[in-house]
Chain A
Amino acid sequence: MTTYYGIEPGEKYKPWLWPLPKDTKYIGKEGIYRKDGFMKASGTVKYCRDLTMPGMLYAKTMEAPHAHCKIIAMDTSRAEAVPGVRKIIRYDEDPIWYGIFDSFRAPLTPMALPTEAWFSGQLCGATIIADTELACEEAMRILEKDTEWERLPFYLDWDEAIKPGSTPIYPDRELINHYNPGRSVEFPDFTLSWTGFENKNNMYGEEIQEYGDADSAMTEATNTLEFSFKESLPDTLAGIEAQVQIAKYIDASNTIVETWENGQGSNSIHQTDGISHCHYSGGRFGHAFNVLQGDLLAKRAALETNQRPVCHLHDRSHFYWMGEEFGTYKMKVGYEDNGKITAIKIQNINCCGILDPENKICKSTGCENIHVTKTYPYQNIGPYSCYRHGGAQAAFLNEICHRIAEDLNMDPAEVAMINDGADGHSMEWINENVKKKYGFDATRDSLNEVIDIGKKAIDWNNKWHEPGTKLLPNGKYHGIGFMYCNSWHHRADDNSSFLKYRRERDMWGPIGLGVYKSGKVFVEGAHNEVGVNRGTTYQAIIADEIGLNFDDVVVKFIDEPEGSRSSFRFRGHGGSRGLISNAVMAIRLAQKAKKMILEKACKPRMNPGGYFDLYGYQWLEPAFPNKTPEELDIKDSMVFEIANPNNKQPISAITTYLSREMFVTDVPPDLDEELHTYPMGRQCYFMEVEVDPDTGHVDVIKDVCVYDAGKIISPETCHSQMIGGTYMGYGRSRVEEVFFDPNDGVRLNDDLINYPINLIGDIKGDIDVHLIETGLNWAPYGMGGIGESPTAVQTHITRYAVHNAIGKWLDEGKTTPEYVLKALGKV
């Protein structure tokens, strides 16, 4: 008898206790054919830039030629005369207003075609609409010559920007920020206060987050240490695919717009009425904001084209977007002789408001006393974007562990284990008060397990040595590094605001499921495509939950009518969060659908003709007469009697008599508001390197990744995610850097030749992946996310491996040869 969890009135909602369906054939199994694999590997998949439509016009927008500059004059006459040019929309003609331009490095601007640009490459000034891309280009080259700019003060380095006496970058700009100056808010675990500045040394605010009493705890600590590092040269989320947005008004009054884009979210057009298509986006980490300005410019251009589609093109991928994790970080930590951390203070000069330095510290340790000061400077290097997010946060956590380990001559992995915990509580406390209380397996200790596996895999006990003490016969220094963090995205209701919206309006659920007359199950929802294997994964879950053959489940990613809020929509961006959130919905829908099928199996079936005879309906006897749904089950797309399995019929024997498809919808509840979901899953990485003291080059000999995913749905996808995450992760510190011309602030390496992303051929050694399943997450089957974290957490692992190799700390987060040579004193 199948039990349905959490869908009956009065049932306690505990998705983490939902067990796997019995006799799973697809969940957790290898060899499941990836439905989009062939298309992508063969190059037949259509990306947004591949799309052509009848009558399509093209548009391009000017990019600011300098960091911080203002248009003085623009003569469009020569550009307008280029054959094929239809219209040039000017900055001063018709300001396009929109909500926010999400940059914490510049004052917020409400315009899509601003007059003043704050960073080089910013879209501004003019949009050219023409018959061909070439005509746009030719016209733009002329227009760039015919535009006069005033160069304004700029800063590329925030430490320079905030120095006393620095030149104000925005002297006339009123302070606009997300917080009210002087606000202070008490949260259950911490207090948050904000002070807004008015252009005080190019700073626009300071935020303080206080947990416990870090000052007192620091005074009482047996030991203290102070240290700092700087992530001074940012990286970018550059990808293979250049940005593109296509817009077309489908009504003569230009109020309903249809758009195509390669953004990460299918909801990026959420401010207007229309249909949005989110095509495959290739090889880019992203955030919905990335396409916002381009999207609005495309729609503005489409207003001029009498319902012809306009393809708004960019030359490059998102090179002008920067990560949110660079800054100057000063830390002070108090600890005991056994390595137990008692107090942490972090001063963080960082341009981005979404970096919470203490985030992973809170989720991975039991430290109760943390004080964080975040200072926000203005800077002219492009807006932030959340991608490979969490790398710096994991670095703070691990920097502290390694510095303590070095001071106490301890193994850093031991320091990690001594401090294991979450949200102010030790793991021992969590074992007793959380795991046991809420039905988790309290014998599982994720951090101990992942570290144990990882240490064995890399032979840590034989290879780890004191920093700077092992010179190899080949003249290189041997080093071995370690990093750890909580596994993130661990809650079943990670999309709670999205669901709350629907619940409050009594709307249908975000995903629709239909059981068709053929017996096949269709799952529908708008969905962006970022390259993870979601469709196949949901298919596996639904097939196993209902008892269907794999190919009897079809996951349809549909377009999105009438804006994002009302339509079927999978949880959009976020690799980890997406799967967990959508899996909850998929499981509940599957269980509901199964219940409906089994109920139908016990009821009379309407005659195939579906017509009334003169005396009423004609009915056939039930597929399973005199049986109740509780006596039946489904396996291999066959409904069968549990007590007599040979009594079975295909689902289609029941569903073929439906007058129409059975439609299932569901809006999952939130987790209990009072419930505190302590993150209990862990991940860790070990890296073995050889550092050439003559060149500073770091060769990675071996990388061991150990991840507690809670419950693995698609083993190959998880394995690939770890491999790809490793490349992208430590490539970020080992080779990736953005460079600017110091004289005009122009980005110099905004292409994939000069911006070096790690490739498969750059990894000499093995990447050894180990996945464990403790079930210690607050989502169905105990599953957790495995999307972003392998790449984010491994951003700094070379830092620790290099430190172990050469015995010196790099001042920078980067471990490029230049910085290693500097640390060695060779430059």
Chain B
Amino acid sequence: MGNPLRDFKHINAQTINEATTILASGNAEAIAGGTDIVGTMKLYLLREYPETVVNLKTISPSLDYIKEEGGMLKIGALTRLEDIAKSNVVQSKWAGLAEAAHRTASPHIREVGTIGGNICQLNRCWYFRKKNNHYDCIRKGGNMCYAMAGENRYHSIFGAVAACVAVNPSDTAPALVALNATIKTSKRDIPAEEFWAVKIPGSTVLDTDEIVTEIQVPAFSGKSAFVKFALRSSIDFPIVNCAAAIDGSNVRICLNAVYNLPYRATKAEEAISGKTIDEASAEAAGTAAVSGAMPLAYNKWKVQIAKAMVKKCLLACK
């Protein structure tokens, strides 16, 4: 529902350079589909309310595309999630990513939300998201994490980053990590695994004047899968999700919504590497994945879920 919006400048950027210049000027936010930024503004979540919102959808040439070039999948940052989910080429060669896009949110949101927005979205911690900045937490420049000693049943099971136990809520993020994607920005190319960070208040390594322009996923001839656990399959953010990409002996498994950053389950990868995937080996990998878990007071049950998701994801790659 939210509160009425304060006035702000809305600028339709015509080029990437124009967009980043506006963002560099300070107190400006980018808008693509708007499914995160508008809610953030309406609820006055952050200390600062943007004076300017710069529309990326009007950038030319458009950043909305899916193409395969030289075996590599290239997705423009403004590509809608539903288009990725339905893309034949993504479904056939990068199935885990297609499934991740398909399982994000609801059909209505997928028709509007973009992959760039999905990987850049702010965290969903209910303390962070309380309207009017009710909890001025550490991710907003405050001095404490309220979830640490509070109600943390959906929070990190692998400890804190910069004293914060919120989790990364993206569904596409673990798929991009598992598929060893590269995030191309207006300034640089960043391996997906290095893209996310704990910032105030952001969730990526992007500079203020930097936007994602393209996602590049290398050629992949193996099997990939994505599974998600949520209370409601129709719309919810993940409680735990997991993506895996197995190409011969090369195994990459990434959990998400279990830590502040997408969590590469390296112990699970070691446990399954070279083995035939079956119930027993997948179960063992799941156990390995959570062997370093440090659950909080209310989220021990998430450890079991994470273990189960790794198992299910590997079995889906069988």
Contact = CB atoms under 8 A, between A and B. Distances in A.
Interface of A: 65, 132-134, 137-138, 141, 144, 242, 315-317, 475, 692, 694-697, 735, 739-743, 746, 748-749, 751, 753-754, 756, 758-762, 816-818, 821-822, 826-827
B44 to A, nearest CB: 7
Nearest to B315: A475
B151 A739 contact: yes
B21 interface: no
A138 B3 CA distance: 10
A743 B149 contact: yes
A817 B239 CA distance: 11
Contacts of A742: 150-151
Interface in B57-103: none
Contacts of A697: 229
Contact of A315 (B1, B127, B308): B1
Nearest to A827: B301
7 contacts: A317-B1, A748-B151, A756-B236, A761-B106, A818-B153, A821-B301, A826-B301
Contacts of B1: 242, 315-317, 751
B311 A756 contact: no
A761 B150 contact: no
B160 to A, nearest CB: 18
B126 A821 contact: no
Contact of B44 (A132, A141, A735, A741): A141
Interface in B126-145: 126-127, 129-132, 134
B134 A694 contact: no
A756 B301 contact: no
B4 A134 contact: yes
Contact of B232 (A132, A475, A759): A759
B249 interface: no
Contacts of A821: 301, 304
Contacts, number: 95
Interface string B291-316: 00000000011001101110110000
Nearest to B129: A754
A753 B131 CA distance: 13
A41 B34 CA distance: 26
A570 B149 CA distance: 51
A821 B132 CA distance: 36
Contact of B231 (A735, A743, A827): A735
B150 A817 contact: no
B98 to A, nearest CB: 19
Given A761-B233, A761-B234, A817-B231, 18 more contacts: A132-B4, A133-B4, A134-B5, A137-B3, A141-B132, A315-B131, A692-B308, A696-B301, A743-B149, A743-B150, A748-B126, A748-B130, A748-B151, A753-B124, A754-B129, A762-B234, A818-B153, A821-B304
Contacts of A746: 130, 134
A754 B126 contact: yes
Interface of B: 1-6, 44, 106, 124, 126-127, 129-132, 134, 146, 149-151, 153, 229, 231-237, 279, 300-301, 304-305, 307-309, 311-312
Contacts of A740: 151
A759 B237 CA distance: 14
B2 A315 contact: yes
Q: Is the interface of B mostly helix, strand, loop or mixed?
A: loop
Query: Chain A contact residues: over half helix, strand or loop, or mixed?
Result: loop
B126 A822 contact: no
A759 B235 contact: yes
A695 B6 contact: no
A724 to B, nearest CB: 15
A758 B153 CA distance: 20
B301 A817 contact: yes
A129 B233 CA distance: 42
Nearest to B133: A141
Contacts of A749: 126
Nearest to A735: B231
A166 to B, nearest CB: 21
Nearest to B132: A141
A588 B150 CA distance: 60
Contacts of A134: 3-6
A500 to B, nearest CB: 41
Contacts of B150: 741-743
Contacts of A822: 301
Q: Which of B3, B106, B229, B309 has the most CB of A within 10 A?
A: B3
Nearest to B235: A759
A811 to B, nearest CB: 14
A822 B235 CA distance: 25
Contacts of B5: 134
Contact of A816 (B131, B231, B300): B231
A315 B3 contact: yes
A692 B308 CA distance: 10
A475 B130 CA distance: 39
A695 B4 contact: no
Contacts of B131: 315
Nearest to A740: B151
A534 B229 CA distance: 40
A753 B311 CA distance: 28
B4 A758 contact: no
A59 B304 CA distance: 48
Contacts of B153: 739, 818
A679 B44 CA distance: 53
Contacts of B134: 65, 746
Contacts of A133: 3-4
Contact of B127 (A141, A748, A753, A762): A748
Contacts of B151: 739-742, 748
Contacts of A762: 232-234
Contacts of B301: 696, 817-818, 821-822, 826-827
Q: Which 6 A-B pairs have the closest CB atoms?
A: A761-B234, A694-B308, A748-B126, A759-B234, A134-B4, A827-B301
A756 B5 CA distance: 26
B143 to A, nearest CB: 15
A242 B5 CA distance: 17
Contacts of A475: 279
Contacts of A138: 6
B146 A756 contact: no
Contacts of A827: 300-301, 304
A156 to B, nearest CB: 10
Contacts of B312: 694
Nearest to A743: B150
A696 B229 CA distance: 11
B304 A756 contact: no
A827 B1 CA distance: 36
A605 to B, nearest CB: 58
Nearest to A826: B304
B122 to A, nearest CB: 13
